[in-house]
Amino acid sequence: MKALRIAVIGGDGIGPEVIEAAIPAIELAAKSEGATIAWERLPYGADHYLKTGETLPDAAFAHLKNAVDAIFLGAMGDPRVPGNEHARDILLGLRFRLDLYINFRPCTLLHPDLCPLKDQRENEGTGERGRQVDFVIFRENTEGLYLGRGSSKNVGTADEEQIAEEVNTAPKVERIIRAAFDWARANKRTRVTMADKSNAIPAHRLWQRLFGEVGAKYPDITRDHFYIDALAMQMVKSPEQFQVIVTNNLFGDIISDLGAQLVGGLGVAASANLHPGLAGLFEPVHGSAPPIAGKGIANPMAAVLTGALMLADLGFPKAAALLDGAVRAALREGQRTPDLGGSARTADVGRWIADYLRTA
């Protein structure tokens, strides 16, 4: 048995509810592939910040950096902290300080009725039912427009000027493109798509150059390119054509929400923040959802699927596949929370998935 040590930050709102509902299933799946998990629950989040003034202390950061195999995070964001400073320190702090440069977001349709698009092929009379959406997004996670560089002038006047600078540097663009190709090769995908806006933003020509240079080292993988506006259109028109999409921080942020909606919405969208060789930060795409927090109706599937990404990254692909299969079974059997049209409660869905794994 391999012993894994995973830090858990439930965080705010629905974060702790979905994480606790997902943990038993993740533990069972890991066990079936020979791993035990010691969960280390950490208190950081809005409650802790309001009580102590502490966001993420340096000692905790060092611990997360050096002493755990992965970090499993629920959600950050609380109306009592309108400036969101605790989330900035914890979530963005971990992403930036750990240099987690890959934001990995799978968009896989786990049940046909979760896709909001009409069933094109059925309409075309092929007899085949259901869309086949199955791609992953590699979003650059450490630069772009998110470094906060820029300036403000004449704030609050009729001449106000706000400038935000987008930073694109060769080593960082290159490593995210390389990560996309490496993943494609390791997962038997044959096509990588890069999206930028180099027709309007000359700085994005760097992405074009490096996509060509890096991609040339992967002759087994086809490269293609879309301007980001065209990509958004194609994602809705025929998402089946995509396998792996790599893009910058801002565009990745936007198209991952579009991708999430193509496969069922925030309740089933998982993500990982990675730096190969270091502990990753794994979190559902959704936020803390204050309107439904504490009601027991949040969908824990995104957290379970995030657990699957975590186990896959830690070297337990069979356990990850089991979790994936169990979520598919739950969807098939109607074990759904209200966001997916059902009436099941968070804990019920978590329990059902764990029971399914116990008996599968």
- Per CB under 6 A, residues contacting ligand ATP are 14, 18, 77, 266-267, 286-289, 291-292, 298-299, 302, 337, 339
User: Is 172 labeled as catalytic in the residue annotation?
Assistant: no
Options 47, 119, 134, 257, the catalytic residue: 257
Cα torsion angle, 83, 85, 90, 94, sign: positive
CA-CA distance, 19 to 52, in Å (whole number)?
23
Options 44, 49, 146, 356, the catalytic residue: 146
> What is the smallest separation between the CB atom of 284 and ligand ATP, expressed in angstroms?
6
CA-nearest of 103, 99, 130 to 248 is 103
User: Is 197 labeled as catalytic in the residue annotation?
Assistant: yes
Question: Do residues 197 and 207 make contact, with C-beta atoms less than 8 angstroms apart?
Answer: no
> What is the smallest separation between the CB atom of 294 and ligand ATP, expressed in angstroms?
13
Residue indicated by tokens 């902290």: 81
Question: Toward ligand ATP, which CB reaches closer, 77 or 215?
Answer: 77
Buried b (16+ CB within 10 A) or exposed e, 75-96: bbbbeebeeeebbebbbeebbb
Question: Toward ligand ATP, which CB reaches closer, 20 or 69?
Answer: 20
User: Is 229 labeled as catalytic in the residue annotation?
Assistant: yes
Q: 66 to each of 60, 61, 62, 278, how far by Cα in Å?
A: 10, 9, 6, 9
> What is the smallest separation between the CB atom of 298 and ligand ATP, expressed in angstroms?
4
Question: Toward ligand ATP, which CB reaches closer, 289 or 331?
Answer: 289
Question: Do residues 33 and 1 make contact, with C-beta atoms less than 8 angstroms apart?
Answer: no
CA-CA distance, 258 to 253, in Å (whole number)?
9
Options 253, 313, 324, 339, the catalytic residue: 253
User: Is 146 labeled as catalytic in the residue annotation?
Assistant: yes
User: Is 318 labeled as catalytic in the residue annotation?
Assistant: no
CA-nearest of 328, 347, 325, 329 to 337 is 347
Taking CB atoms, the residue at the shortest distance from ligand ATP is 287
> What is the smallest separation between the CB atom of 239 and ligand ATP, expressed in angstroms?
21
Question: Toward ligand ATP, which CB reaches closer, 4 or 308?
Answer: 308
> What is the smallest separation between the CB atom of 300 and ligand ATP, expressed in angstroms?
7
Question: Toward ligand ATP, which CB reaches closer, 259 or 267?
Answer: 267
**Residues with a known catalytic role:** 146, 197, 229, 253, 257
